[in-house]
Amino acid sequence: KAGVTQTPRYLIKTRGQQVTLSCSPISGHRSVSWYQQTPGQGLQFLFEYFSETQRNKGNFPGRFSGRQFSNSRSEMNVSTLELGDSALYLCASKGQGMNTEAFFGQGTRLTVV
Partner 1 sequence: KQEVTQIPAALSVPEGENLVLNCSFTDSAIYNLQWFRQDPGKGLTSLLLIQSSQREQTSGRLNASLDKSSGRSTLYIAASQPGDSATYLCAVRNNNAGNMLTFGGGTRLMVKP
Residues that bind partner 1 in the complex, under the rule CB under 8 A: 4, 6, 31, 33, 35, 42-45, 48, 50, 55-56, 58, 88, 90, 92, 94, 98-107, 109
Residue nearer to partner 1 on the CB measure, 79 or 88: 88
Minimum CB–partner distance for residue 11 and partner 1 (Å): 14
- Give strand ranges (E) for the chain: 5-7, 10-13, 19-24, 31-38, 42-50, 53-57, 64-68, 74-78, 87-94, 102-104, 108-112
Nearer Cβ to partner 1 (16/28): 28
